[in-house]
Structure 1
């Protein structure tokens, strides 16, 4: 079984939220904060405010 995560991050610059999903939350949060994600680049830094793990048979 693989684990996937639904997450919500909050921008520390304007308190907006971004909702996403990933199979590696540490890597994904680093991508948001390093500017690799075009959708969240302008509102860095980000902090994780919600995380839920799901198991899948994919």
Structure 2
């Protein structure tokens, strides 16, 4: 099974959202359909960045890093925000 860490971008509200999933396309649909409470007010979302991992632990560790202060700076610098 593949595990994905992703960063979504809402250009309309200038917000990012970082998450983890096993089905990236389906998860994006869930965010944009309003099924995720925390992202519902900021639709529409697009995938800004994603990484694939072979283990859940690797993916969760990377998600935790990207949600940290250093990780948010990494996103800001590397995604030209």
TM-score after normalising by structure 1: 0.91
Count the aligned residue pairs.
57
Alignment RMSD, CA only? Answer: 1.6
Structure of greater relative contact order (alpha carbons < 8 Å, 6+ residues apart): 1
In the TM superposition, structure 1's runs of 4+ consecutive aligned residues that sit over 2 Å from their partners are none
Larger strand proportion of the pair: 1
Gaps of 5+ in 2: 58-81
TM-score after normalising by structure 2: 0.66
Gaps of 5+ in 1: none
Larger helix proportion of the pair: 2
